[in-house]
Structure 1
């Protein structure tokens, strides 16, 4: 395969040579084996570390080395970054701390002052990026910020979007109309993903574009309530943008919803051949009335792109169209929502896309961060990008062309997949939480195996109609609720990507899995649970070799790094939005483990 060679690769080779002379081991991606310098550890997004000091034989001796408490309880989903012996960590409400990665001693802190209280969802942040002596953070109140990595001083602060700009109606306005109690959510834009830094650019995308109301159940939780898609012009237009790392100036912006032709081809099946059960005639009849639906068409971007420097491409997943779960007011395929897309890193121009779910009505965002791999085909190895889906498959694409070259075995028992919501209620598995949501999937390139936290469960989708305001038409929406009598559990599942996506093993967890996975060359897979346990599994068999109760639900992906020959494992334990009413508490701790000295 001919690859486009981008400038700067010779410089990378020189960097590797200099590092070797200095005694620092670099991996093929250019990242030091001892560090965790960015989200996913390197631009491949594999969440894999070549460290092996902690292995199957001694992981049972793992113990806390130090704990950092943020002082703010709840929604702690960040993945730490470790560079030159310093750990950088974003916390709830977008505060940032720099810590001595060996002792946990605080070096500096940044206290974020939001410019608006109107944000999308809980005030969680999933991590920072560190590059060129700067720490970059994208905030829930719509700002991209650069801090001095040595002092925490603000170097620039760019307001990318005001979350409340363009709101059509708020959750509280609609709550009375729907006869609902406590309602959360609105069509507001903010940032959740850790930024990607590449080619001197800070790249980040907005969340909150796909309108939805989350109605609390009697326990105060969200899963037993409803996710409501309102018919009409509710929603925002999602986008990904690049900012100059030196100045914060915007360099390019790519919008998820396609201005010209977002209806697509009104396809009857997914690209991998699964029937969508669409009423194409009804959609085409409604199209003239809703020709401008793309302007509020949704498409959130949840997690950090993967980056191929040789091709000059970034790969990112897009979220659901708006209005959420209700499709007649947005006829067509709704391009480019629910897709894996490849964009030119320097310009933001679309190179290719693969839409997993055209005209989505189930909330199947392409949310988990994609990862890069070399994929074996009958014609030989192919440079590939993989995406784990909410629908229950892991897809593999040619990185250069987007061609679908592999699909795993189903990771869950699918039921009535793509059956449309009805007035009597339709039970579908998986539901909007998906098989695999935003949580990162770890990939071990030597074993050719991916390790995923998989949620098993079904949802009932019901179309409801309530009277509108005086002189206004009735309001129609789709309500979701947990399907009664259907099994609900999580598994840690190993997927063999050397054998056409066969499942190697699958281990049922004691509570719902969350945060994502970490794989290491020590033959281990680390995975967190909502009940507060961090587990270490044997990567070959799935056997649990070690568990530790962290005191609150694991909300973020675990990482590992090494200092002075000693390997550490770190994870955020603060619970998450689903913890409320579940019986499991929230917390504020980053827990760091090591073997006894």
Structure 2
């Protein structure tokens, strides 16, 4: 065990001084700025993981959509809950040190009131909220130090939702592109960096149970959407220092590409798009591009790397001709100024909901000329891409992690079945990367969706409304796998293990040769990193929604995660809860 902790100390010493921390901690989202979700701790290993048991449980008192990744610094755990409340806990016992109760300034938020974590540094706890605020709390007391309103979620809403609702049998319609924050902030260079979500997401048609009608998402033709952005705030004062907008003001149409940058045909009607372009030169103003997860950070290069979301209107591209830069991209920004260094647009003119959502992670990629400092991005389209950090050049693309069907076939009036659907292959859930093994471990969703173009006739002085409805494809296979991708050896699939229910929350790998992964039916599973065999599992009582983490206190290793319900639909059949569950080996 001493050797393992010594190895962890070596890893911590290799980080930039501003990011170095105790090896036993999990001091930020992803574990460190590389976003690898890998731990050098190995007290819990293949040989003893079967003895793992709950050490303590913290109940938040707020049920459902608990997606946060805990942060552990110097024996204190900080965790945000549904509704943006925050708790500080003794990481050894679970004793509550303080709580912060968030009072939202508006109920008009985007989607469920979930939050994916906080950031901690300089005696402060930082959180970005669903009601559009960036706040700093005193890490010892939980008292607010500063509170800045970054955006009003309801600003710029259209009346399209109510108009469409009336035409769909008065079913409630939710969405309307309200801006707010979900991602855990990134702390770098004295800045709190965070991006908005809700910019390009579709409206949702609710069913009679208050859930989503078969996962139905509606993308409406016309001036629907918001302009996504990432901003940096002074960590001491909360004052905004820079802002980068996802949609490109000049030339967002791009080159009208017929294929993706890696050569996959897009099946676009480029002639029709070019003909429509003069009428839609201002489409970038409401062009979407949500930002779902925390960027990776290379301190030496001074760059951050982040994925951007789909353009608006979602799934309906007739009124946004062109490539829609810089949506659906992996981008590199200067951390000090927000200036764009490079971008790689995975899907130009996207119409299927393939947000670049999973957090990018850093690695050294082997090439015939020697290792290259690289950044990898797991995609909803079913590949993991590896890029040169300095230039964005595509170094490698993994084997596909799913079976494609009609990939990039456009929506149609008769309905087009496409695999994957908008949930991915690999969605927002973090991918763990073990640098020593050269393997990435991803939760992969296998399934298809039907994309149907529908028309609401003009009536009562209101013009015709066209929209694309997305729903789960009936009769198509639907399941999840935990999949290991050998990035050090050409991107081959090393192994893939089918799960009992849909996987959610993300993965964690450790020096103990383990991969932890959660399921929506409430199970936390520990897999052997060599072949994917399940060595241990525990029923947490509610769907796993957050990424697992690991840390150590007084020489004892713990594994922690949020179990509060994970499904985006209320009709999933699995329970919701409010528990943060922490495991350890017996004393």
Compute the TM-score of the two structures, normalised by the length of structure 1.
0.95
- Contact kept, 8 Å, 1:47 with 1:442, in 2: the verdict is yes
The verdict on how the C-alpha distance between 1:151 and 1:420 changes in structure 2, with shifts beyond 3 A counting, is: same
Question: In 2, Cα distance between the equivalents of 1:34 and 1:189?
Answer: 36
Question: In 1, Cα distance between the equivalents of 2:440 and 2:215?
Answer: 33
- Is the aligned partner of 1:26 residue 2:12? yes
What is aligned with 2:430? 440
Question: In 1, Cα distance between the equivalents of 2:263 and 2:170?
Answer: 39
User: Where do 1:90-489 residues align within 5 Å?
Assistant: 90-169=80-159, 171-179=161-169, 181-217=171-207, 220-222=210-212, 224-489=214-479
Question: In 2, Cα distance between the equivalents of 1:424 and 1:244?
Answer: 51
Unpaired runs of 5+ residues, structure 2, are none
Question: Secondary structure, in 3 states, of the residue corresponding to 2:165?
Answer: helix
The verdict on how the C-alpha distance between 1:577 and 1:544 changes in structure 2, with shifts beyond 3 A counting, is: closer
1:216 Cα deviation (Å)? 3.2
Question: Secondary structure, in 3 states, of the residue corresponding to 1:289?
Answer: helix
Question: In 2, Cα distance between the equivalents of 1:371 and 1:300?
Answer: 19
What is aligned with 2:580? 590
1:498 Cα deviation (Å)? 1.0
1:183 Cα deviation (Å)? 2.7
Report Cα offsets for 1:371-416 as digits up to 9, x if no partner.
0000011121000000000000000000000000000000000010
Question: In 2, Cα distance between the equivalents of 1:437 and 1:180?
Answer: 31
Question: In 2, Cα distance between the equivalents of 1:328 and 1:545?
Answer: 50
Question: In 1, Cα distance between the equivalents of 2:277 and 2:460?
Answer: 27
1:577 Cα deviation (Å)? 4.3
Number of residue-to-residue matches in the alignment: 577
- Is the aligned partner of 1:40 residue 2:30? yes
- Contact kept, 8 Å, 1:553 with 1:579, in 2: the verdict is no
1:185 Cα deviation (Å)? 1.6
- Is the aligned partner of 1:86 residue 2:76? yes
- Contact kept, 8 Å, 1:170 with 1:187, in 2: the verdict is no
The verdict on how the C-alpha distance between 1:70 and 1:494 changes in structure 2, with shifts beyond 3 A counting, is: same
What is aligned with 1:501? 491
Question: In 1, Cα distance between the equivalents of 2:185 and 2:507?
Answer: 19
- Is the aligned partner of 1:556 residue 2:546? yes
Question: Secondary structure, in 3 states, of the residue corresponding to 1:453?
Answer: strand
What is aligned with 1:73? 63
Question: Secondary structure, in 3 states, of the residue corresponding to 1:435?
Answer: coil
1:337 Cα deviation (Å)? 0.2
What is aligned with 1:6? none
The verdict on how the C-alpha distance between 1:231 and 1:143 changes in structure 2, with shifts beyond 3 A counting, is: same
Question: In 1, Cα distance between the equivalents of 2:214 and 2:62?
Answer: 26
1:33 Cα deviation (Å)? 2.1
Question: Secondary structure, in 3 states, of the residue corresponding to 2:272?
Answer: helix
Report Cα offsets for 1:116-166 as digits up to 9, x if no partner.
010000000000000111000000000000000011110000000000111
Compute the TM-score of the two structures, normalised by the length of structure 2.
0.96
Question: Secondary structure, in 3 states, of the residue corresponding to 1:176?
Answer: helix
Question: In 2, Cα distance between the equivalents of 1:25 and 1:212?
Answer: 42
- Contact kept, 8 Å, 1:217 with 1:225, in 2: the verdict is no
Question: In 2, Cα distance between the equivalents of 1:43 and 1:174?
Answer: 43
1:473 Cα deviation (Å)? 2.2
Question: In 2, Cα distance between the equivalents of 1:135 and 1:502?
Answer: 40
Question: In 2, Cα distance between the equivalents of 1:396 and 1:225?
Answer: 31
Question: In 1, Cα distance between the equivalents of 2:48 and 2:471?
Answer: 44
1:175 Cα deviation (Å)? 1.1
Question: In 2, Cα distance between the equivalents of 1:523 and 1:70?
Answer: 31
Question: In 1, Cα distance between the equivalents of 2:426 and 2:564?
Answer: 20
- Contact kept, 8 Å, 1:241 with 1:253, in 2: the verdict is yes
1:182 Cα deviation (Å)? 3.4
Question: In 2, Cα distance between the equivalents of 1:573 and 1:244?
Answer: 33
1:198 Cα deviation (Å)? 0.1
The verdict on how the C-alpha distance between 1:180 and 1:315 changes in structure 2, with shifts beyond 3 A counting, is: farther
- Contact kept, 8 Å, 2:212 with 2:569, in 1: the verdict is no
- Contact kept, 8 Å, 1:265 with 1:332, in 2: the verdict is yes
Greater mean deviation of Cα atoms: 464-473 or 83-92? 464-473
1:580 Cα deviation (Å)? 1.2
Question: In 2, Cα distance between the equivalents of 1:272 and 1:234?
Answer: 30
User: In angstroms, what is the RMSD of aligned CA positions?
Assistant: 1.4
- Contact kept, 8 Å, 1:148 with 1:155, in 2: the verdict is yes
1:221 Cα deviation (Å)? 3.9
Question: In 2, Cα distance between the equivalents of 1:289 and 1:383?
Answer: 43
1:482 Cα deviation (Å)? 1.0
The verdict on how the C-alpha distance between 1:467 and 1:359 changes in structure 2, with shifts beyond 3 A counting, is: same
1:34 Cα deviation (Å)? 0.7
Question: In 2, Cα distance between the equivalents of 1:223 and 1:316?
Answer: 31
The verdict on how the C-alpha distance between 1:469 and 1:312 changes in structure 2, with shifts beyond 3 A counting, is: farther
Report Cα offsets for 1:264-285 as digits up to 9, x if no partner.
0001000000000000010011
Question: Secondary structure, in 3 states, of the residue corresponding to 1:43?
Answer: coil
Question: In 1, Cα distance between the equivalents of 2:429 and 2:170?
Answer: 30
